[in-house]
Amino acid sequence: MKRLFSLVFALGLLVVACGDDDSGATTSAPADTGAFPVTVQGTEIPALPERIVSLSATHTEVLYEIGAGSEIIATDVFSDYPASAAETEKVDAFNLSVEAVAALDPDLVILSYDPGDAMAGFEALSIPAILFSPPGPTSLGAVYDEWQELGRATGHTTEAQALVREVRDDIDSVVAEVPQTVRSFTYFVELDSTLFTVGSGTLLNSVFGMLGLTNVVGDDAGAYPQLSAEFLLDADPDFIFLADTVCCGQTAETVAARPGWSELSAVGNGSVIELEDSVASRWGPRIFELVLRITKEVYGVG
Amino acid sequence: MTVESPRHVSVRSLLLAAAVASGAIAAAVLIGPAGLDPRRVLLEVIDRLPLIDVESGLSPREAAIVWELRVPRAVLGSLVGATLAIAGAAYQGVFRNPLADPYLLGVAAGAGLGATLAIVTVGSGSLLVPVAAFAGALAAVAATYALGAAGGGRRTGTTLILAGVAVAAFLTAVQTFVQQRNADTIREVYAWILGRLGTTGWADVALVAPYAIVSIVVILLHRRVLDVLAVGEDEARTLGIRPERVRAIVVVAATLGTAGAVAAGGLIGFVGIVVPHAIRLIVGSSYRVILPLTVLGGAAFLTIADVIARTAVSPSEIPIGVVTAFVGGPFFVVVLRSSRRDSS
């Protein structure tokens, strides 16, 4: 492990700062009124939305980033970023009441989860609603597509395109810095303390793969398998990423105290990395932060 | 009450049951997703015995898999299985109802509510979770008992079961409400509800063992009285037994054991139904025979279920509650059918 690290450094890989990650596109360019009506995800939006209800934390982050924040009148209880999203009126997206949302008189509703077919309710009430079907995009390309769709739906097409370009370039430049290693590092991402993790067909898995890392789970375990502790000890990943630091209070210390975990290489080498749950599980603009963090922790670059 | 019929458990059947349970525990220690060499695993376990020093050839990490994960999990599985099974048999005995188990009495629902409240307030890693589950289980059984008494004065088996169903439904509704109000912890609660053995190793074993042992010993001591109760309450009274008192002691003992088991393993269903009835089908209906065999049978059943849970879809794990319910659901129907045929 340490040997591999020194090798990486010995290769003299350049650290190119790719700053401006805080260049929030808060530019309030005039919305593109002329484009309406538009059809997004099969829903016709007759006029430029001015009262948006976002029932998805990821999409809330994107909306604020593309300058649609001032049009948001309510968000779901998980929308806690940026800070102004946390202060909007709150709706429970997991027990959604169409009537409660309708009472807010929205002209656009964004959903990413709809087991109770609230979409039918919104259609009956002639409230334009867009559903980005769960479990969400599985590749960065699909993520960018979603952002552009949100841009079209809210009249912020230009900002959305700019955001996509910026994040894509930033990520590409980080990926370009990922050094060749003797062998691919292995990793385990912990979604909760009962060892739920991500497998093939998930965005997180593809992001890690893009950065040259190999999931200990392999390709055949499905999207969100629950690992046995024994398998994990046997697989002995080079890196452990904790995406349950907020929800479940896990830290490098709590993990090291689990039975048998003190024998793990990642624990011994200090390669247990604490991520913020929401950064690791959403696919908003902060995905660049995630990419940067992983690269920094694993390769010491970025 | 005649003494001619063989109403004591034979040494041979005890030995056989013990052999099955030992085999299950051995399988649990030897088999696992890590694919360690069974011979080395065996040497590693022998090495841990006092005064014996052999070289197993396992790396420290592999040794940790054996000693920190597999062995405590096998021990935990047998303790939880034994406790749930004998608790089920005990409930069936005192309530003279073949379908009685911790679920029907609201014990499991009470434990579930207690654990849910603890998870949403202090988080799933907290030591308070098992304690809260325990408190909830005791409160639920007390409520069931009180409600059963209010219903008809005398706590007959039927009114108690009905009271248990009402209490369980109420507590489950409260739990669902609390869960929905705290969507951010919903998956932790869900994982706990499905039941899982051992992410905390020996700590869980230490937590369960006192409850399990007290519960099992107390119930075993009442095995003869349960046989008398099975004949009828009036008959029991003529023999100087006070049915209400016996029922209270056995129910409290079974609830203690259940709460301890539930606190460590989550809600693992059907063990209390499957095991006692399987034993009954083989050896007849005397509690003096059933109860000791149920302890061993429960240990074997849950340990094997856990081997399946750990290895069937490796590297993933199936919640053990799903495995036991998969076997237990169909079995429950068979028991229901045969018990209806008996009573008609």
- With CA atoms as reference, the chain A residue closest to B31 would be A230
What pLDDT is attached to residue A221? 85
Least CB-CB distance to A221: which of B36, B69, B315? B315
CB burial class (10 A; 0-12, 13-18, 19+) of residue B107?
buried
Task: Identify the DSSP state of A164.
Answer: H
Please state, rounded to an integer, the average pLDDT across all residues of chain B: 84
Say if the Cβ atoms of B317 and A262 lie within 8 Å.
no
pLDDT in tens, B99-154: 777 777 888 889 889 888 888 888 666 667 777 887 898 899 889 878 877 755 55
Q: Please judge whether B188 and A194 are an interchain contact, meaning their C-beta atoms are less than 8 angstroms apart.
A: yes
| Amino acid symbol at B6 | P
Cα dihedral value B8, B13, B15, B20, nearest 10: -140
**A94 contact residues in B (CB cutoff 8 A):** 180, 183, 186
Count of other CB atoms within 10 angstroms of residue A143: 24
User: Which residue of chain B is at minimal alpha-carbon distance from A223?
Assistant: B316
Structural element, H or E, at residue B282: helix B271-283
What string of pLDDT tens digits covers the 302 residues of chain A? 444 434 433 333 333 333 333 344 444 555 566 678 999 999 999 999 999 999 999 999 999 999 999 999 999 988 999 999 999 999 988 788 999 999 999 999 999 988 889 999 999 999 999 999 888 899 999 999 999 999 999 999 999 999 999 999 999 999 999 998 888 999 999 998 888 899 999 999 999 999 999 999 998 888 889 888 889 999 999 999 999 998 778 999 999 999 999 999 999 999 999 999 999 999 999 999 999 999 999 998 86
Of the partner residues A192, A233, A259, the one whose CB lies closest to the CB of residue B188: A192
Longest dimension (CA), chain B: 66
Q: Quick check: A263 and B188 CB within 8 A?
A: no
**Cβ–Cβ under 8 Å, residues B113 and B136:** yes
> With an 8 Å Cβ cutoff, are A231 and B199 in contact?
no
Structure tokens at A239: 């890196």
Question: Is the CB of B33 less than 8 angstroms away from the CB of A222?
Answer: no
User: Of the segments A5-14, B17-26, B90-99, B222-231, which one has the largest average pLDDT value?
Assistant: B17-26
CB contact under 8 A, A230 and B65: yes
Contact A249 B314 (CB under 8 A): no
Q: How far apart are CA A151 and CA A35, in angstroms?
A: 11
To the nearest whole angstrom, how far is the Cα of A243 from the nearest Cα of chain B? 14
Round to whole Å and give the CA distance between A278 and A56: 12
Residue B243: both structure tokens together: 């049915």
**Chain B neighbors of A92, CB-CB under 8 A:** 183
A287's tokens: 């995905």
- Cβ neighbours of A248 in B, within 8 Å: 123-125, 188
Tokens of A160: 């959305």
User: What pTM does this model have?
Assistant: 0.81
Candidates B181, B308, B313, B316: best to mutate against A (most CBs of A within 10 A) is: B316
